[in-house]
Structure 1
Amino acid sequence: MYEKENTVREWKVYLFVFSFMIVCAVAFVIFEPKILFSQIVLRGFDAFISFVLLTNVLFFWRRSKRIAYVSGVLAVINLIMVISLV
């Protein structure tokens, strides 16, 4: 039972971090015309998101393979998007 509680807690943490990243991305899109972020700042934010997702893969690899796989897929998608925008 203890392992199931840890898995539920890990999923909650993962979903919270993922939701926070989505909110930050939306904030960038909404406020970008007013503040005029440079492209380097936006690419740095994308790189940070990829770094967090890859860290999730390493952290959750032994605990929950599903979280690791989802993080890995999202990291690859994000890296492809960053490379296509360069």
Structure 2
Amino acid sequence: MQPYRQALKAEALATTRFETPPGRQLQIDFGERLVDIGGAKVKAFVFVATRAEKQEHWFAGLESAFTTLPEEVLKDNPRALVVRHDR
């Protein structure tokens, strides 16, 4: 059981969540989906920028997305920027 417990502990440490104060960090991600436009399947690319998930935050975020920037921008594996993974 000891190797199993050690593996679980290592996994928990490797995925430790952290939180920052509201407004300090902006989390962004990109994606793609096939969508139906005028009867044709078209690949649509999406960009998501999230500060929080309450409706009031969405409205404020949309209003200020391109006028103010946070201290940090958190990116999750952007293919355009990541050449290889360093485990």
User: TM-score, structure 2 length as denominator?
Assistant: 0.31
Greater C-alpha radius of gyration: 2
User: TM-score, structure 1 length as denominator?
Assistant: 0.31
* Greater share of helix: 1
